[in-house]
Structure 1
């Protein structure tokens, strides 16, 4: 399916690996120039019609993204798509969490999302076009054991994005969320290995525990999440805003 994203400019955060990396690649294959924000930076990559341009910044540092949107627009002429991806926080039982854990999660999951979304939203309001998507988590709807930091701050970010969607809609700017379930990223593999070590089980046994609660019988690949994101930000989803789309193989049991 032709998505109509060619010749556009996109910003993808936390784009060095996992879902962020897969999304940057997917948008580049659609012919976009993708500014790939990460701590590590990297080398530019050419695709048939698009490219990935690395941009080094640490989202957890206050002020790290100040002026970023203006700089991108000045250099590339516009900003058509923003994909807000964030690293996952610490996994911890609620009563074992410390205030330092909460502050660190806030600085990773909420503050940079709000800062970048505000800057991008103002730019897109002015140009009267654009799409913003937050990569959230199904833990917002169905928190998992140990996922209190993620569920709490992602829920706050979700409410913020819904409010932003309402304000930007009259200007032709769409704001949505994509909520992945269990996905075969390095982070998920690390979580599984940690549980295996803590429970005295094998990695395969821990994977089986996760998969048995997914009706489709497996976890997602990062590319599958990226495919959904590419559609949501594209003109093919032009009447879609203020939504949160779960991509979880049916794992969330709630109807809404």
Structure 2
């Protein structure tokens, strides 16, 4: 299926590895110029399929860098067609063991940069009269897990923001979609199971087995599978989808809404 993304410009944050990297590669394969923001971004553009990946040093923990990111992309490429809001995961810790420093750090990692980028990207797309914003978060917004209070809390706030933006931007031809991955085979997921194993006195194999037992499809997702959903949601093929929250989790979340 041609997703009709060829020739467009995308910005993906936290794009150096995991789901962010997979999304970056997928959009480039569809023919987009993808600005890949990351703290450790390289220097040379990378040709991939019909598109190109252009590294952009961007530390989401730095408010000034984040504030300038959309303007930087537009100044160089003239427009912004797709904005994928991806953020790293915060510390895994029980709620009663958190400190205010944990909350402050998670805020600056998960919520502030999403607000900055979503507002800046939304204004640019409103002026263009087109564009799609995709928030990548977690099924913990829908079904919180032990130790995930920081992620669930701030990602829930980000979910409310993009739901509001979807309504505000729809009259201007701009769509906003929320994609919530479940357990996915990334370095982040490995860190989570290692943390659980240390806390529970188990092994990582035990914790992986426990996660998979709760997934009806019987396995973790691959990052590429999440990227496929993001690429579709970002494309004109999903042109009547906005304000939607899409769960990609192998059936793990049992909620009916």
Q: Structure 2-normalised TM-score? A: 0.98
Counterpart in the other structure of 2:39: 39
Distance in 2, Cα, partners of 1:106 & 1:48: 36
Count of matched residue pairs: 256
Within 5 Å, give how 1:88-103 maps onto structure 2: 88-103=89-104
- Kept in 1: contact 2:58–2:69 (CA 8 A): no
Distance in 2, Cα, partners of 1:202 & 1:50: 42
Displacement of 1:201 in angstroms is 2.3
Match status 1:123 vs 2:118: no
- Kept in 1: contact 2:5–2:236 (CA 8 A): yes
Q: 1:65 is paired with a residue of what secondary structure? A: helix
Displacement of 1:70 in angstroms is 2.1
Range with bigger deviation, 190-199 or 25-34: 190-199
Counterpart in the other structure of 1:19: 19
Displacement of 1:65 in angstroms is 1.9
Q: 2:21 is paired with a residue of what secondary structure? A: helix
Counterpart in the other structure of 2:6: 6
Displacement of 1:61 in angstroms is 1.4
| CA deviation string 1:27-58 (max 9, x = no partner) | 00000000000000113211131010000011
Counterpart in the other structure of 1:209: 210
Distance in 2, Cα, partners of 1:109 & 1:198: 24
| CA deviation string 1:141-188 (max 9, x = no partner) | 100000000000000000000000000000000001000000110010
Displacement of 1:74 in angstroms is 2.0
- Kept in 1: contact 2:61–2:113 (CA 8 A): yes
Runs of 4+ in 1 over 6 A off after TM superposition: none
Q: Structure 1-normalised TM-score? A: 0.98
**Which segments of 5 or more consecutive residues in structure 1 lack a partner in the other structure?**
none
Displacement of 1:193 in angstroms is 2.0
**Which segments of 5 or more consecutive residues in structure 2 lack a partner in the other structure?**
none
Within 5 Å, give how 1:109-148 maps onto structure 2: 109-148=110-149
Distance in 1, Cα, partners of 2:72 & 2:61: 20
| CA deviation string 1:94-143 (max 9, x = no partner) | 10000000000000100000000100000000000000000011000100
Distance in 2, Cα, partners of 1:97 & 1:198: 15
Displacement of 1:194 in angstroms is 2.5
